[in-house]
Amino acid sequence: MSYKYFINALEIAKGIMDNTVFPGDTVIDCTVGNGNDTLYLARLVGLKGKVYGFDIQKKALTLTREKLMSEGLYDRVQLIHDGHENLFEYVDEEIKLGIFNLGYLPGGDHTIVTRSDTTILGIENCLKILSKNGIILIICYTGHVGGLEEKNELEKYFSIVNQKECNVLKFQFINQINNPPVLYGIEKL
């Protein structure tokens, strides 16, 4: 097996999901978007696992439901038309992983973007129900309007997370010119 550490943030995130999520686990895709991560997680949790998927855009959920159904994976997924800051209204169990793929919906309205204040609320919610050694992944884009501000705000928040409670690891490609996404991984200790 060879891990694709060095391709991009999305591949690193997949490698971490592969090594964290196992059949029967419960996980949350906090930003369903085009559904790729939801689909990936639905495979990993298996028949007895559960994926909660949040998005504020109906278009994202419709698209994702279709993808899941065509792959026969919709049975283990609950799609929720709401923001991740409200996740306690829907989720009341321990989770193994949460993922935030920030920014706008590819192919959608580029002015509808995630914002650091609600993202941080969502992350704090996930941390409260995350299992020991569970992981939260945040993929952060800086190429769109507001993206850099969101990243800076998040980084300010991450830098003061208590290191006795969590490790926060930043993965960044530092020689790429076109604003490659940055990945943050939070492990609960």
- Whose Cβ is closer to a second copy: residue 110's or residue 156's? 156
- Closest approach, Cβ 62 to a second copy, in A, equals 34
- Member of 70, 78, 172, 179 binding a second copy (CB under 8 A): 172
19 lies in the site for a second copy, by CB under 8 A? yes
Q: Which stretch binds a second copy (CB under 8 A): 82-90, 96-104, 109-117, 167-175?
A: 167-175
Please, which of residues 130-159 interact with a second copy by CB under 8 A? 135, 155, 158-159
CB 77 to a second copy: min, Å: 25
Buried b (16+ CB within 10 A) or exposed e, 81-116: eebbbbbeeebeeebbbbbbbbbbbeeeeeeebbeb
Q: By CB under 8 A, is residue 111 in contact with a second copy?
A: no
Tell the smallest beta-carbon distance from residue 122 to a second copy (Å): 18
Quick one: CA dihedral 7, 77, 151, 109, positive or negative? Answer: positive
| Number of neighbours of residue 118 by Cβ within 10 angstroms | 14
Nearer to a second copy, 128 or 170 (CB): 170
Binding residues with a second copy: total (CB under 8 A) = 33
The CA-atom distances, in angstroms, between 43 and each of 71, 76, 80, 86, 136 are 10, 9, 19, 25, 18
Contact 110, 83 (CB under 8 A): no
Per CB under 8 A, 3 contacts a second copy: yes
Torsion sign over Cα 138, 147, 160, 125 = negative
- 168 makes contact with a second copy (CB under 8 A): yes
∠ CA 85-88-89 to the nearest 5 degrees? Answer: 100
Which residues of this protein are in contact with a second copy, per CB under 8 A?
1-3, 5-7, 15-16, 19-20, 135, 155, 158-163, 166-177, 184-185, 187
